[in-house]
Structure 1
Amino acid sequence: MAQPPDLDVSYAASVIGAIWYLALWAISLLGCWESRKRYRCRPRSPLASKPSNTVPGVSILRPLKGLDANLYENLETTFLQEYSNFEILFSVADERDQALSVVRELITKYPQVKAKIITGEEVVGVNPKINNLIRSYGQAAHDILWILDSNVGVDRGTLARAVDVLTGPYSQGHNRLGKPIALVHHVPFAVSSRSTIGSRIEEAFLNTNHAKMYVALNTLAWDSCVVGKSNLYRRSDLERVTGPHKKANTRGGDSPEQERGLRAFARYLAEDNTIANSLWHELDIRHDLSCDIARNVVENMTLSDYIWRRVRWIRVRRAMVLAATLLEPLTESVVLSLIGSASLRFLFSVPIWATLLAHYSFWLFVDFDVYTSLAGQPMPWDGRSQFLAAWAARELMALPIWLLAMCGNDVTWRGERYTMLKNGEVEKATSTTGWTRFWLSRRRDDYEPLATM
């Protein structure tokens, strides 16, 4: 007896839903397992104790703007690297920038470290970070560059271990597929000492679901997946690329008008991911994570700040990888639990409540385990209730924030408003709607100015 057509459709949908559900769980478990292997043991690199004439030189570029939270402590971690051959270049667009007093104090405190301040920007595109870095990029003494955001702190051994991954002996500078490593990056780990709601939610997001998926996707290495908080790569490689997804003619046959190097990425807002994409696709070389984290200090973030930060990066991703962005809600815990419970109910008569209970229990356990791996210690018991509330809020808000992001093209970054174009390019926004004006009036710059007397 033939089955009714609607039953066939329901069966097919349930099978697809169950496969999708199990696939996402497999990726989550991979991220959890790889986090355990990679981050729970951080051996000291042999490069940490070698003399300067035996290790590759590294130029550390730190772009600055204003007083980020914990700026002194973040910048000091750069001076304290256990590595004998590096210099630090601090890039500041405005010679009156308040971050300069912090930098000068540190340079005085550590006179043995090669460090200098480079002021003034070169406007080569709409991306202010690129404009700020152009002069430092040109004046760097070494081929290996470590670009490190000002709101990030790192462990003393981070540089040595990153150079290990880039050049060997770790994997002999190659990934498991035998292709050269061109870029080493670090998973962001949020740190917040203040109980503002936005900071807590951002902390819960970055340290669990984001980290889990970030580690898993980089383990699978299907494509480039890089966040630019802390990236190490060679300037000589960057000088060979001209933009994302364009096959470079490495024999020198490209048009001389094509821009190369850092300048070629000034028209993109997410220059970090775009640079990584270009190295991957143009030169067919790969990226890797080291066993360190980039401690990203997030302070005084309101709920509105958190929402619009997520909106901004969803809109950026949509312009760069549309298909993946459209599928994103189906990877989030709430929507995924509904897909899984409905599919298992239809196929195997599993009660929906049982699937939901098991789903959220194990999902939370995996997220806590990822947090423990990255932090190097379990979460303190007295902070778990706050973290759990922030985690639940993040999960419940994921779909509404995604829907909001789909309803516009404008993003705000460092007090400037941009319109997203195709392939992740941006231009300065020229018009402002009433709705946007309302929200922009509530936004503040991503740093805290000093109180004036």
Structure 2
Amino acid sequence: MISFVLASASVVWYIILWSIGLIGCLAARKRYRLRPRSPLASAAANTVPGVTILRPLKGLDHNLYENLESTFMQEYPNFEVFFCVEDERDQALTIVRDLMAKYPSVNARIAIRDGEPVGVNPKINNLITAYRQASHDILWVLDSNVMADRGTLARAVDILEPPSTATPLRRRIGVVHHVPFAWVTKPSLGSCIEEAFLNTNHAKMYIAINTVAVDSCVVGKSCLYRKSDMERVNGSLRPIANAEQGGFQPGERGLKMFGRFLAEDNMIAGSLWHELGLRHDISCDVAKNAVGDMSPIDYITRRIRWIRVRKRMVLAATLAEPFTESMFVGVLTSLGLRYLLGLSPWFFLPVHFLAWVLVDMDVYTSMAGHPVPADKRWMFVVSWALRELLALPVWTMAMLGSEVEWRGKRYRVMKNGEVERVASMASGLLGWFRKRKDFYEPLDISD
């Protein structure tokens, strides 16, 4: 009886998991294969909501010039840009000043952090000065390694501030976010594995979860929300009783309250969801992320870091992660089918992996606007397979500790994703898999 129950459960879960994957695949097709031009792009400046774009910077990141230039080139008539740095000696400011001279008509300013840090999160520390100086209520926080299409801002505002003639929704939209889409600027094995992961399995599950929308799930590479909403929440995730009538949390509120979290983007989105009862939506644009030269160890340590953050925020979901991976669930289901139907695993597993990779590559096609290029296809499939093979070992190592390294500093992840600095370096496996430098997310720390 126990064997029958376990075998049946594996098959039922396999069907559920495939249903989730197909939701993500079909939703990606519907959302990303058509990107219409927003009417706001050609509207008069005084007829559209103003937007303040906040770009946190730290040093010379990959593709930085093109990433920042995409901000100046937005087809939207009413926005300002703040380039946020910790000090005036930051190397990124050379590029910023060149772009400001190239686009003098764009209202762009440099915001240097003023005062003491508001928390351990350097992204929040960089943003806080510009956040306080923002002229507009709508904020677009856009990481330094993200390049945005010209129509991205206009299409996002369409969602955040729908026309008055639109059908009323049950809940107001509080966050518009964009799915990260990685593109390799310096091909290497680690960067190709990262690209294969983010553009297939990660994107598929991320889109599916946000399509079902049972809870907040946001990666903050590119997010729009309102400052007026932020000033009502404090990161406690406790619902505000009179939120619809303008209620707010007692005590201190606003962006500074999220400086204590490592995954500040997810906590901001979660606070707007749970404290104010606002919902989220994904735009039809992607956040194009430039991925530089990464080794396999760099990839592994990066994944360990995020899993350790997630397990302190959503333990149940993190514990279930192995049961969503193709290798682990494929083996379990093959054993279940052999017990129930006598089906050979040697027949089932090749069909399983072929179907899985075809769905994942279809998600890539939807987000990229084209299939994987023919000259990259085999390398992409090999990278995809390596990612799938690494998933369970990486998850296991991540679950055995609570310390992470980020930009040369060590942190201990505590309850709800809050962190504290740790002076000494870790030893053992974590020390060996120490991340030597940041290749992908210089400031954002949730994926």
Work out whether the TM-score is over 0.5: yes
2:358 pairs with 352, 358, 365, which one? 365
Question: Within 1, Cα distance between the matches of 2:434 and 2:320?
Answer: 32
* Residue 134 (str. 1) matches residue 128 (str. 2): yes
For the residues of structure 1 that align with 2:350 and 2:296, how far apart are their CA atoms?
Answer: 28
SS of match in other structure, 1:283: coil
Residue number in structure 1 paired with 2:110:
117
Q: Which residue of 1 aligns with 2:219?
A: 227
State the Cα distance separating 1:242 from its structure 2 match.
Answer: 1.4
Does structure 1 residue 101 correspond to structure 2 residue 128? Answer: no
Following superposition, the deviation at residue 170 of structure 1 comes to 9.9
The one-letter code sitting in structure 2 at the alignment partner of 1:152 is: V
Aligned with residue 353 of structure 1, among 346, 356, 369: 346
Matching residue of 1:151 = 145
Deviations 1:395-435 (A, max 9, x none): 00000000010111111112221100011110111333333
- CA deviations 1:182-232 (Å, max 9, x no partner) are 000000000103221111100000000000000000000010000000000
Task: Give the direction of change, closer, same or farther, for the CA distance of 1:421–1:357 in structure 2 (3 Å limit).
Answer: same
Task: Report the equivalent of 1:407.
Answer: 400
1:64 matches 2:57: yes
Is the 1:265–1:271 Cα contact (8 Å) retained in structure 2? yes
Which deviates more from structure 2 when the two are superposed, residues 424-433 or residues 297-306?
A: 424-433
Count of matched residue positions in the alignment of Structure 1 and Structure 2: 439
Q: Is the 8 A contact 1:194 1:299 kept in 2?
A: yes
Separation in 2 of the partners of 1:115 and 1:371?
34
- Kindly indicate whether the alpha-carbon contact (under 8 Å) linking 1:67 and 1:447 is maintained by their aligned counterparts in 2: no
CA contact (8 A) 2:232 2:248 kept: no
Unaligned runs of 5+ in 1: 1-7
Aligned with 2:209 (options 199, 206, 217): 217
CA deviations 1:109-138 (Å, max 9, x no partner) are 000100000112540111111011100100
2: CA distance between counterparts of 1:356 and 1:446?
35
User: Structure 2: how far apart are the matches of 1:214 and 1:445?
Assistant: 23
Q: Which moved more, 1:121-130 or 1:329-338?
A: 121-130
Bigger drift between 334-343 and 315-324 goes to: 334-343
Cα distance in 2 for residues equivalent to 1:117 and 1:281: 33
Q: Percent identity?
A: 59
| Counterpart check, 1:394 vs 2:384 | no
| 1:438 to partner: Cα distance | 4.1
Q: Residue 270 of structure 2 corresponds to which residue in structure 1?
A: 277
User: RMSD across aligned C-alpha pairs, in angstroms?
Assistant: 2.0
User: What is the rounded CA distance, in whole Å, between the counterparts of 1:336 and 1:441 in structure 2?
Assistant: 29
Alpha carbons of 1:27 and 1:89: their partners in 2 closer, same or farther (altered >3 Å)? same
Q: Distance in 1 between matches of 2:214 and 2:336?
A: 27
Distance in 1 between residues matched to 2:278 and 2:207, nearest whole Å: 19
Deviation per residue, 1:304-332 (Å, 9 max, x gap): 11111100000000000000000000100
What does residue 3 of structure 1 align with? none
1:166, 1:173 within 8 Å by CA — same for their partners in 2?
no
The equivalent of 1:164 in structure 2 is 158
> 1:204 is matched with which residue: 174, 196, 199?
196
3-state SS of paired residue (1:42): coil
Post-superposition Cα deviations, 1:131-160, rounded to whole Å, max 9, x if no partner, equal 111001000100000000000001000000
For the residues of structure 2 that align with 1:20 and 1:202, how far apart are their CA atoms?
27
Report the CA distance between 1:439 and its aligned residue.
Answer: 4.0
- SS of aligned partner of 2:40: helix
Partner letter of residue 238 of structure 1?
M
**CA displacement, residues 21-68 of structure 1 (integer Å, 9 cap, x when unaligned):** 000000001111010000000000111110100000000000000011
Which residue of 295, 310, 316 maps to 2:309? 316
> 1:323 & 1:64 partners in 2: Cα distance?
34
Rounded to whole Å, the distance in 1 between the matches of 2:410 and 2:308 is 13
Partners of 2:164 and 2:380 lie apart in 1 by 36
Instruction: Tell me: CA distance 1:79–1:170, structure 2 relative to 1, closer, same or farther (3 Å).
Output: farther
User: 2:317 is paired with a residue of what secondary structure?
Assistant: helix
Aligned residue in 1 for 2:319: 326
> What residue identity is the alignment partner of 1:128?
P
Task: Quote the residue 1:268 is aligned against.
Answer: 261
CA drift at 1:445: 4.2
2: CA distance between counterparts of 1:232 and 1:174? 20
2:368 is aligned, of 369, 375, 379, to: 375
**Structure-2 change in CA distance of 1:136 and 1:386 (3 Å):** same
Distance 1:145 1:241 in 2: 16
Task: Select the residue among 33, 44, 56 that pairs with 2:37.
Answer: 44
Question: Deviations 1:225-254 (Å, cap 9, x if unpaired)?
Answer: 000000000010111111142123547887
**CA displacement at 1:447 relative to structure 2:** 7.9
CA contact (8 A) 1:173 1:180 kept: no
- For 1:343, the equivalent position in structure 2 comes to 336
What is the Cα deviation at residue 446 of structure 1?
4.3
CA distance in 1, matches of 2:189, 2:232: 44
**Which moved further from structure 2: 236-245 or 106-115?**
236-245
Shift of 1:69: 0.2
8 Å contact 1:64–1:150 — kept in the other structure?
A: yes
Secondary structure of the structure 2 residue equivalent to 1:137: helix
Amino acid at match of 1:228: G
1:273-317 C-alpha deviation (Å, 9 max, x unpaired):
001111111111100001000001110112111111100000000
Q: Which amino acid aligns with 2:132?
A: G
